[in-house]
Structure 1
Amino acid sequence: LTGWTLDEAAGKSLGQVFNIVNEQSRLSVESPVAKVLLEGVVVGLANHTVLVRRDGTEVSIDDSGAPIRDDQGNITGVVLVFRDITKRKKTEETLAESETKYRRLLDGMTDTAWVIDDECNIIDVNRSASESLGYTKKELLKMNLTDIDNNLKAEKIKYLVKTMPKDKIQVFETAHTTKNGLKIPVEISSSLVTYKGKQAILSIARNITERKKTEATLYLNKILLEYLLAINKMEETSKKELLDFALEAIIKVTQSKFALISLVNDDQTILTIQAWSKNAMKECKTTQKPTDYYLSQAGIWAEPIRQRKPIFIEDYNAANLKKRGLPEGHVKIKNYLGVPIFEKDVVVAMAAVANKNGFYTENDALTISSVMNDTWRIIQRKNFESEREQNLSKLSMLNEKLNVVGSLTRHDVRNKLMAIKAKTYLLKKKNIENAELIRNLEGVETTVDSAAALLAFSGLYEKIGAEELREINVEECFNQALALRRSVQNVKIINETKGLTVIADKLLSEVFYNLLDNSLRHGQRVTQIRLFTIKDGNKLKLIYEDNGVGVSEENKDKIFVGGFSTGRSSGLGLKLIKRVIEGYGWSIVENGEPNKGAKFTITIPQTTQE
């Protein structure tokens, strides 16, 4: 170790042969020999001592010096024992560095991290665990996992620990309780690790509060959309049934226990309760249950009508000068939200909900307004049914269109669909790593797209007969439809209608577009599409044909019926074509040969073509 042989070292001073310095300060270290001779005890070296060998290289050592005594106990010399601890020191440094990295990694995580033993005792935590739960690290290290997880039973927690798989990560959801009693939903990822030489469990707990809120919002938006679409299809339902359905909707989408819907009379003096929740009636023990109330005498619950705005009451039991008190036996009200419903700036109704497990928000008010606005529109349409029935026969087509689109209030529903799609896009962008959530969001987008397609159809249908007929160039009209279909690039197009004009409107382009769409969607092997004409007496036949699979004999009478489809389309395209064609005074049939191609023949009377 010293680099000196015995012969070379003999006679030399100890400091010359045994040259030791402090590794960090580089100062000489006092030889333990002097201390042994002075004190007569065994002496060891301080840490960080290195021996400078004869050739100048250094080696980490530890040593001890012990006195040599004669028979009388007198010190006659010193035994100096030292050894190379380079490897041991390297190991210790590696362990210390590993411990430092482990601690930095653990404390640098935003998720909470827990190390527990097989008895569920907490043996280590990171800084985030202390901060999120409100306990000090010292307090947590005295606790058991069952002290913070009140969501799972202690037996279940211990079972999960005992049955922890050795070769994979165990993932599950639970809730952790903070020091002040707040419950935080978390997703746990646990795996077996070696901690300080013993087997332990490392659990990473991710706060999923926002994810749960997002999932709940997404679910409620989906429920709201379903209710809105259902309400807009309830034209044949009675007013009482419609209001009861709307009541059920606002209870569910606001997560309330009680609700009521009241209508306001024309002079704004009396409000009449038209629908109320079954739970309220079951729990209500009052002997008198009036349905009509003078607005001037009604209590705080009628403030939304008087103030013409939504009223939020977080604590219904708090003192308020506007309260008139509840009759004996009335159901207990914890919190309350009332929303006025307007028609042309006049309050016509009010919907109110109560006893939500949490606080009511502006979103709850908007949701109630959405449901009630659509409900009120249906009620108003019902009020005009008798008047519509007296319309002249020339309005029959308009009546049919109203029946088709009557179940959809396009403007409002389209706005809601766009809002849902925008929120879905933001949720996907925010949760891009959550594959399951992305999959569910894409399902919502598909549903929204389908609803949007129905709105687009109803919009086109409404235009039938609305535009004044004029001369239309068939060749240009067909080419315009072609330009909207990019997928026709590999299909040979033969347009033999140059110079042909007919009396129609711009919906003729929609006719050609839907015919092209039908060929490309259902023709399967279409490589050629041809548009040409044949003179037939005083009529002109405009023929559209392709070389695809055609239409089977059994389906020829069905294809123009709304909703019929052999694929995944809405089945409304050909119905739209037929109504547009008939609106021009023309006729259309499919008379192609099955398996040889589809052939649509449009017959145009001489008076409508040039």
Structure 2
Amino acid sequence: MTEKEFSSIDYRFRGHDDTYHWVRHNLKLDIIEVDKPIEFIGSWIDITERKHLEEALQDSETKFRAVFDAAHDMILLLDKDANILDVNYQTAALLGYTRAELLQMNTLQHLDLPEDRPFMKKVLDDLMAGQTREYEVRWRTKGGETLYFESASAPRFSAKGEFISTISCLRDITERKHAEEVVWHSQELFSTIFQSVPAAICIVGRDNAHILRINDYMLTLLGYEREEVINGLSTDFWVTQDIRHELVSDIFEKGGIYGLEMPWRTHSGEMVNMLVSSEPIEIDGQPCTLSIAVDLTDRKRNEEAVQRSQNLFLRIFQSVPIAIMITTLREGRILNVNNHALALMGYQADEIIGKLTSEIEAWATPLRERPEVFKALAEEGVAYNIDLKLKTKLGDLRDVIVSLQTIEIEGETCLLTIAIDDTDRKQLEQARLEAEHTRMEVYREREVLELKERFIAKMSHEFRTPLQVILSSKESLEHYSDRMTAELRLEKLHNIEKQVFYATSLLDDVLLLGKAHAGKLQFNAEVMNIATFCQKLFEQIQLTDKITHHYIFSTHGNLGDVQSDAQLLQHILVNLLSNAIKYSSEGGIVQLEMCREGDEAVIRISDQGIGIPVNDQKHLFEPFYRASNTAKIKGTGLGLAIVKESVDTHGGTIACESASGQGTTFVVRLPVQPQNGKTQTES
């Protein structure tokens, strides 16, 4: 010990009676003078009683901790702000936290559900005010599960009245709560079913027949208020009351009665027929009967309505002037057939009802061989306007237009077939077509005659000029050749050759049109690179141009190979390009564009010439027809007619876009693989 320090130590003395006494020995170090001996000042205080009290308190704490941790319920000590001071083992086990984690938590913030916190704050305020509380609380476990607890809480105060903590004992009642919820839901479900089921329901005591419970449907049906019937006699509704004892015996001895039809009397005295089923039940230990009754009035009305509907259907079914047949869908068994169908087919009803349509060979082509029909039935349930041939009993074939619809009969999918006899109409149509064909033949012959007349008139005019030139040149050579120079004689011969070529070309065009009108124009298909073919021909025509024009050839994309007739394609291009050159002034643009659109090769030929008046465009492709603004320009009127026939033979189309004075564009569309063109062997 250093100077002026104090020391204190507790130890025991054993007395002469062998008992121990606790004393506290206090020592003080003191120096009287410098370099003088050190002096100790000591005192002894008897603390035996206090030590006994501390030992008792320690023992009490040990026992409390043992009870605290061994309790099956959760026990928590909280401070005034709901911070956790201590918890027992069961608390950690139920909530899923460690004790260390719980000692860092606040019940309001970490365990209580948010919607419960206002209530728990009120509980805490009551505890701080010295009250004890019993209540239910919900806490969230570490795993997120919500547990229900029944809690008893009390405040702890010191001897001086100072707040120490609250102690709360919580018992897990989660299973009980869930069971109560199941019971509640079951009761709610029963109540909902009891009130919402569209049938009369009541619960009646066995011994006194008093009504204990009745649903709204039954009250409405019978016309009573609830207060009028509760605890009244159920037999008040019965028309026949003397059978009650027998019915009650059957209910309890046989376990119930089912489907009993009996009359009831409403509040107004009206009689209603009810279909009743009853079973025994027990309510609060008392035997009762639960009865459910269905009003047969509507059902009987419905049955009568159904019967009337069926009778009406049968009257319509048999009297309508259309053949109707009902068969099973799966095998085609005939279930019903109306009188008109029997008359059409030549059968009696007992000859075909129950048989398969395949047995009587009803259809010349079985429906099973028409997949498009069954596809429509599968997807939409109906198929309309199918042309079929119906086979009669005598083997005759009748043309019919059939509509089909799937219907359900007694749970089986069936087929409603409606057939309209179209034989007479088809015969009339055939006669009309034949008459039309004859008329067209006459018209075509007349057209050929008119064409011949026009041809003779046109050819007389067209051949006169080259023949006159030839004759004049021949006479000059015959009479004056000796006076002519070699160059002049050669010029005369070239004129003769040129006129012969013109006449030959004119004759070829006429012969080509004649073949086309007679249906003898051949289509000799060959695979070609159409872009290359058109470009070469375009360049050849450009070389023959005596007047200077600007030429543009272009292709867009890869046209690929095309099946085409080279000679017919040449007719199309030569005539369209020749017209573009002929009707364009010097310096004008003549353009040929090509592209591929889907399965078509598109050829577009355009110029900046005189154009075609709108009124003339509808006659463009008629033989010998020429536009009104071309009178001063030489031409035969055969070129565009030949183009049209050549395009048609390819199975293509041609269109004109033009206006007077604004140039002309012809658009030709040819199929890449012609479907309508004639093969080389056809004529």
TM-score, reference length from structure 2: 0.29
Q: Quick check: which has more Rg, 1 or 2?
A: 2
Higher relative contact order (CA 8 A, sep 6+): 1
- The structure richer in strand per residue is 2
